[in-house]
Amino acid sequence: MDLETRIRARLDAGDPRGAATEAIRGLGPAVLRYLRAMLRDEDVAADAFSVFAEKLWKGIASFRGESSFRTWAFRLAWNATLDVKDDAWRRKGRRFEPGEASAMAESIRTKSVVRTERQRRVLEELRASLSAEDRSLLILRVDQGLSWEEVAQVLAESGAAARPDALMKRYERLKERLGKLARERGLVE
């Protein structure tokens, strides 16, 4: 049984805690990689992962199934990146109380190994030059393998999903720009 089916089965059985546990364990490592790539700071990514886990834990019972659970989870992760980058959030210095979801999030985070090979550093340098939206588009499509429809749902603004064909065109322009930057830095021929 795949992860999506296990989560939905738990929700259908009236077990949102079990569904949240399955979701955080199953999707946590991929979400953490996404957050690290987006935020480029281990401490901030850890904060965002805690925000993500808490949002998932508290909101899973309201999951309506209008998208795949994976898409919904990455939407929560995208919102978590926006939350931790918000200056007001930082000024508050708000820390989460240790709870079951936070403890699980910390466990997954500490088990994950940060890749340090040269390609990863180079990719991070190139990604750092992108806007948050372009970085998210690239990570969701390439690293996470989301479909164009899923990417559009994750990057939706105020409930109105972006058009997948517009995202594909934006992605093509982004690839060209990254290729040019890589050639300028002597990373590719």
Looking at the fold, whether 18 and 91 belong to one and the same domain comes out as: yes
pLDDT digits (tens, 9 = 90+) for 44-83: 898 999 999 999 999 998 888 888 899 999 999 999 999 8
Domain end position, chosen among 97, 114, 131: 114
Instruction: Identify the burial level of 93 via C-beta atoms within 10 angstroms of its C-beta, where 0-12 means exposed, 13-18 middle and 19 or more buried.
Output: exposed
Domain end position, chosen among 77, 94, 114: 114
User: Given CA atoms 173, 174, 176, 180 in this order, what sign does their dihedral have?
Assistant: positive
| CATH assignment of the domain containing 184 | 1.10.10
| Residue-number span of the structural domain to which 35 is assigned | 1-114
Which residue type, as a one-letter code, is found at position 173? R
Of residues 68 and 118, more confidence is placed in 68
Residue 132 to residue 39: CA distance in whole angstroms:
9
pTM surpassing 0.75?
no
Looking at the fold, whether 119 and 56 belong to one and the same domain comes out as: no
What's the total number of domains in the chain? 2
Residue 102 has pLDDT above 80, yes or no: no
Task: Check if the beta carbon of residue 42 is closer than 8 Å to that of residue 36.
Answer: yes
Domain end position, chosen among 65, 90, 114: 114
In sequence order, the β-bridge partners of residue 157 are 160
DSSP reduced 3-state for 40: coil
pLDDT digits (tens, 9 = 90+) for 103-116: 666 666 555 533 33
Looking at the fold, whether 49 and 107 belong to one and the same domain comes out as: yes
Looking at the fold, whether 23 and 79 belong to one and the same domain comes out as: yes
